[in-house]
Chain A
Amino acid sequence: MQLGRVVGTVVASVKADGLEGVRLLIVQPLDRQQQPRGTPMVAADAVAMAGPGELVHYVSAREAAQALRETFVPVDQAIVGIVDAVEEVSS
């Protein structure tokens, strides 16, 4: 899992089978200091609570397909949690 920030939503009325009802959000991947890194991507919102501007953590690849209720929904990125806090410790 990595950190991301929700920056938008995507509506697609015509979608592949299995994607019906899946909420699609645009997520800006963040580095460990929560700075933008890499290009925004579209993730399925598996917790259905993430709104614009929220800090989230997401998972990629096959695990994303297992994040939604019916497993193996065809997605490659999925939000699996809303981050309340990131407590860093200086080691």
Chain B
Amino acid sequence: MKIARVVGTVVSTIHAEILDHRKLLLCDTLDPEGEPDGGYLIAVDVVGAGAGETVLLLDEGTSARQIVDEPSGPLRTVVVGIVDEIDLAER
């Protein structure tokens, strides 16, 4: 899974069926220190994450479809958690 920050939403009325009634969040992927690492992903939200929140992204299709309870479909990235805290061991 990846750590990311919600930086916006994507509005798409014409889309693949599996995305029906799903909120699409624009997320910057972060390094463990919480800094953007240059990447981003559009993820389906299932936990009600809001703008600016640090979240946990699942980026694998089989598990993603299991979460939304769909046997098949082009879904891969899902917001599966809202991060409260990250503690890094001193290096």
Contacts and interface: CB of A to CB of B under 8 A. Distances in A.
A and B: bona fide binding partners: yes
B5 A46 contact: no
Given A62-B61, A87-B9, A49 B14 contact: yes
Q: Is the interface of B mostly helix, strand, loop or mixed?
A: strand
| A: interface residue count bin | 20 to 34
B19 interface: yes
Interface string A34-73: 0000000000001101000000010111111011000100
Contact of A80 (B9, B26, B74): B74
B56 interface: no
Contacts, number: 92
Contact of B61 (A3, A46, A63): A63
Most B C-beta atoms less than 10 A away, residue of A49, A78, A80: A80
B51 interface: yes
Contact of B19 (A62, A66, A81): A81
Contacts of B76: 1, 59-61, 63
Most A C-beta atoms less than 10 A away, residue of B5, B11, B28, B74: B74
B9 A81 contact: no
A91 interface: yes
Interface string B58-80: 00010000000000111111000
Contacts of B11: 83-87
Interface of A: 1-3, 31-32, 46-47, 49, 57, 59-64, 66-67, 71, 78, 80-89, 91
17 contacts: A3-B42, A32-B28, A47-B14, A57-B10, A57-B12, A59-B76, A63-B75, A80-B15, A81-B14, A81-B19, A82-B14, A83-B12, A84-B11, A89-B8, A91-B7, A91-B51, A91-B52
